[in-house]
Amino acid sequence: MPRRKGKIIQLDLLLLSHQGLLWKWLGSPGLVAVWLAPPCGTSSRAKELPLPGEDEPRPLRSVECPEGLPGLGPSDSERVAKANELYRLTARIWDFCCENDIVVIIENPYRSFFWHCSAIEHILRSEQAIVVQCDFCMMGGSRLKRTALLCNSDLITGLAVTCDGSHEHLPWKVQEGVLATKLETAYPHQFCKHFVSLLLQHLTQKGCRDGLNLLEADPANSSGARVVTTQAKTKRAASFQVIPEFRRRIRWTVPGQLRSTLQTTQWLAPDRIPGFKAPGAPALRVTPLLSSATDVLVEVPWNPQEFVAKARLAGHPRHLCLGVPPALRKAILACSKQPATKVIETRAAQSRRWLQRARELQLAEDDFKAKLPEHIRSSLRNKRILLFKEMLEASHYADKAVADDLAQGFDLVGHLDLPAGWSADFRPAFLSLKDLSQLTQETNHQVIKEVEDSSQFLEELWQKSLDEVSKGWSEGPFREQDLPQGAVVSKRFAIQQGNKVRPIDDLSQSHINEAFGSMGKIELHDIETIAASAILFLRHAGQGLLGKTIDLKSAYRQLPLSEKALNMAYVAVKDPNSGEVRFFRLLCLPFGAVAAVHAFIRVSLAICHIGNTFWHLPWSSFYDDFTLLSTQQLATSAEASACLLLDLLGFEFDRDGDKAQPFQEVFRSLGVEFDLTDSSKQIFRIQNTAERTKSLIEDLAAFQEQGASNPKTWNRLRGRLHFVAGQLSGRLPKGFMRRISDIINAPAYVRRQNQASLCAALQGLRHYIAEASPRIVRAQTSETVYAFTDASQEGLQGLEMGLGAVLFNQEGHILCWFGIVLPHDLAEKLLQGKSKVINELESIAVLLLFILAREFLRGKHVMCYLDNEAARITLLKLTSDSEALTLLSNACALLEQELEMIPFYARVPSKSNVADAPSRLDFTGLPRNCRFQDQVLLAEMAKLVNSLVGRGA
């Protein structure tokens, strides 16, 4: 599948261990549909076709003998038997999906013997079975490929289509000894798009909500949407919908004659739907409902005036303050709205409460730990597990099981069930435990060989490994002959982090990470969470903020492994004195295990929730870093409360040194610097540390000096660059990076042709990183203005080009507007031999409005509504396959930065776009006194067109 968009996972479903993985996947939360394409090779009728000059393929089945013809040879008999086993598995999956209300589709060629096999005939006789014929040539395929689709939902009827004979087909002939059936395996794009549309319609009818609608988002839980609150530079914003596309959606019964004419979605005049009232709507979108012979879904679009009013009501997504977890939000509001004395009293009372409870539980704690395995007892010797459990219960924390899991130790392999309170996000294990055990001997040998050949950081790795033994974090060193049967060995290597050497345990090479799967989505409290929290705090506190971080010491080593994980927790280290490879058995979470990430985050989020709930601590957690915000009045009590909580639970943290700084207006967290100096003015800054910036500039310079030709080196740099660029003002660095990536990842001859462009982009990126201002975040909800733009291109030669724009203020008054049709000489110059430039025109309309209305836009939140997705997405991504769109989007980004405006590019449906009329010279209702004059507009337009033509775009 060379053009696949998703990850491909290969399983051998004839193996019981792999079937076990499959059933685990099928039981994952959030699964809504399963598509099955059982192998049809042994059931194909194509084997009845003769191959000229070849041994004729022999049919293996018939209608009379669908389970296999008698007298097959050993090889063919084995192939048929294996296929039959998969067909029986298919039937079991069908039954499972029907029992669990999961849509399931089974496909095979229409004339395949597959449909005659007993396991499948059993399905066909069931009441839920619906079978349709789909000829792929009607869905973008090149041959007359007749496919039967079997489904347990009537959504499949939307894929029922037979060839109408209006087009030619490629032949089903043999090409160079290859059956054409092997060349016609991919699903046409049109087919995939139509199926997804049908599935979405089906889910909507079942009551599923659109998680990308910002107006329906839960402000407390929309962590994915926090980027729109903090204005992080990310293309994720493109996926969010500010205003629903339609004013109303309703199921409606229509006469049978009308319903019979509706096979697909159509736009109809309102008077075509008997009894339906839609005043002001120019047209209705009507979709036949697959489950009914009389009902349709009628969707009523907003008229332009309604959409403008709705846009003003919605405002700018920045004002929504999304992405602050519920408990953290409550803590922030308590600290900002309650008198400081009351918050201090609450914290003191909670401290007394839990100190008393800790004393009361001490004997029970000791008895509880005495029954734990020795290595777990040692790891948890200073921790209060029973107190932890009671705090989780009292705070109504969803994932209460984390305390029991902590006491049992954490596994390294298997599937982690969905923790209570987490969003479903299934990440499958790719290996079964049986697969892992079969690979162990070979991978152990490979790991030992690589460690034998290693020569870097030998002294440091060996000493750190011995130090871990002395601290009770591991056991050893052992010789190879001392390892128990089935022990899994991972390689330990080191990385340089500043002046420190950090050991990493490579549990990917030993396949342990591949044998771990999870059901829940990790919700990290990242930089955007801290920024969103500060915004919320400042909006309610009415005073400046301070911040600090609390760092857990050797965080992963504070959590134990389970007993069954110990045999998989051996690491190989080279003894620098003897040159021999020795082995250490880890007793705590390894730094390098996927399972360890989930385990530690579960624990840190639980601690964070307890602090939010009882002590009103406005803190967030990112792995082992807790970032704490406070007002000046509450700073002392906040720090004391946080330290007391960690002490009560027995988690060690840095109390002195660089990682134990007091509350400050300028503090570091998660590798960046937060500057709260002007927070009393509702403004703060986020910037990269000087060390990070210097290091990255030096590495970029070295990369350029080496020829800038190694994709692997660039991809490593790009990860760091994305992080750094996110903390700079403006969006241009992302554009530079995409341009560099496009060239470096292209074939060698393309890189040679674009060497000058590559060097210019690298130089521009280095200069920008060195000189750019910090990212400024404004908490105040300054005035929002609403920009609607549109373009049109019509006429036989596409020379009738119109541009329109209308800018509203928050009260709905029009600040300025324009509408113009370009002279033919400008239109011809823009076309440059092309037939369509509508995407470019849509982008030009936005840029022209930015240029002409700059004084209305300066320092404002700007909602930009477009009805052209190519232009909108390019304005967000700053890059496109079209050089012209890329140049126009970068010009808009420069003006965004110059005007210090905060834009959000949202979608408006064409039928609801108030700028559509002026782009066609319809100025009804638009005030003359705030229209930009045509000569001013044409002068700017001529500059833009000449610039594009001059750049060859």
pLDDT digits (tens, 9 = 90+) for 888-901: 998 999 999 889 88
Distance between CA 416 and CA 29 in Å, rounded? 12
- Strand, helix or coil for residue 14: coil
Average pLDDT over residues 747-752: 82
Question: Domain boundary at 574, 593, 612, which?
Answer: 593
**Is residue 41 domain-resident?**
yes
- The domain of 139 spans 16-205
Q: Could you count the other beta carbons within 10 Å of the beta carbon of residue 216?
A: 12
What confidence score (pLDDT) does residue 656 get?
Answer: 86
Residue 879 has pLDDT above 90, yes or no: no
Domain stop point among 146, 176, 205: 205
* pLDDT average, residue stretch 456-466: 95
**Judgement on whether residues 64 and 87 belong to the same structural domain of the protein:** yes
Residues 325/279, Cβ–Cβ less than 8 Å = no
428 lies in a domain? no
Please write the tens of the pLDDT for every residue from 414-429: 989 888 888 888 888 8
Give pLDDT tens digits for 184-212: 557 888 888 888 888 888 887 777 766 55
Residue 47 has pLDDT above 90, yes or no: no
Instruction: Say if residue 770's pLDDT is above 80.
Output: yes
Q: Which residues pair with residue 5 across a beta bridge?
A: none
**Does the pLDDT value for residue 674 go beyond 70?**
yes
Q: How many domains does the chain have?
A: 5
- Residue 218, pLDDT > 80, answer no
| Residues 830 and 896 both lie in one domain | yes
Tell whether the model's pLDDT for residue 240 goes beyond 80.
Answer: no
φ/ψ (deg, to 5) at 509:
-60, -35
Tokens 């055990």 sit on residue: 437
Residue 902 structure tokens = 């905060």
Q: Are residues 130 and 49 in the same domain?
A: yes
Percent of the chain surpassing pLDDT 90: 54
104 and 198 fall within a common domain: yes
**Which residues make beta-bridge pairs with 866?**
907
The confidence score (pLDDT) of residue 2 equals: 44
Q: Would 94 be classed as within a structural domain?
A: yes
What is the model's pLDDT at position 1? 42
Last residue of a domain, one of 759, 777, 795: 777
The reported pLDDT for the residue numbered 233 is 46
Token output for 545? 């903020």
200: helix, strand or coil:
helix
Whether residues 178 and 82 fall in one domain: yes
Least confident of 183-187, 491-495, 654-658, 727-731: 183-187
**Whether residue 908 sits in one domain with residue 837:** yes
Does residue 476 belong to any structural domain of this protein? yes
Structural domain includes residue 669: no
Same domain? For 569 and 445 the reply is: yes
pLDDT in tens, 554-573: 999 999 999 999 999 999 99
Kindly state whether residue 413 falls inside one of the protein's structural domains.
no
Average pLDDT over residues 827-833: 88
State the pLDDT confidence band at 220, using cuts at 50, 70 and 90.
very low
**Predicted local distance difference test score (pLDDT) of residue 683:** 87
Q: Are 197 and 255 within one domain?
A: no
> In whole angstroms, what is the distance from residue 616 CA to residue 629 CA?
11
Q: Determine the residue type at 688.
A: N
Q: Are residues 822 and 936 in the same domain?
A: yes
Q: Could you tell me if residue 402 is inside a domain?
A: no
**751 and 853 share a domain?**
no
Give the whole-angstrom CA distance, residue 939 versus residue 937: 5
Closest CA to 837 of 931, 941, 938, 932: 941
Q: Name the residue with higher pLDDT: 500 or 224.
A: 500
- pLDDT score for 181: 55
What is the pLDDT at residue 373?
Answer: 97
Q: Does an H or E element contain 453, and which?
A: helix 433-453
Q: Domain of 843: which CATH number?
A: 3.30.420.10
Q: What is the mean pLDDT of the chain?
A: 88
230, pLDDT greater than 60: no
Residue 234 has pLDDT above 70, yes or no: no
- Residue 46 sits in the same domain as residue 93: yes
Helical residues (DSSP H) of 163-270, grouped into ranges: 189-205, 226-230, 256-261
Q: Pick the closest to residue 218 from 209, 206, 205 (CA basis).
A: 209
What pLDDT, on a 0 to 100 scale, did the predictor assign at position 637? Answer: 98
172 is a domain residue? yes
* 84 and 137 fall within a common domain: yes
How confident is the model at residue 46, as a pLDDT?
64
**Cβ atoms within 10 Å of 447's Cβ, excluding its own:** 22
Query: What is the reported pLDDT for 855?
Result: 93
CA–CA distance, 288 with 154 (Å, rounded to integer)? 12
* Nearest-angstrom CA–CA distance, 585 and 487: 10
Cα 839–Cα 845–Cα 847 angle in degrees, nearest 5: 105
pLDDT tens-digit map of 82-123: 999 999 999 999 999 999 999 999 999 999 999 999 999 999
**Which residues, other chains included, contact 891 with Cβ-Cβ below 8 Å and sequence gap of 6+?**
847
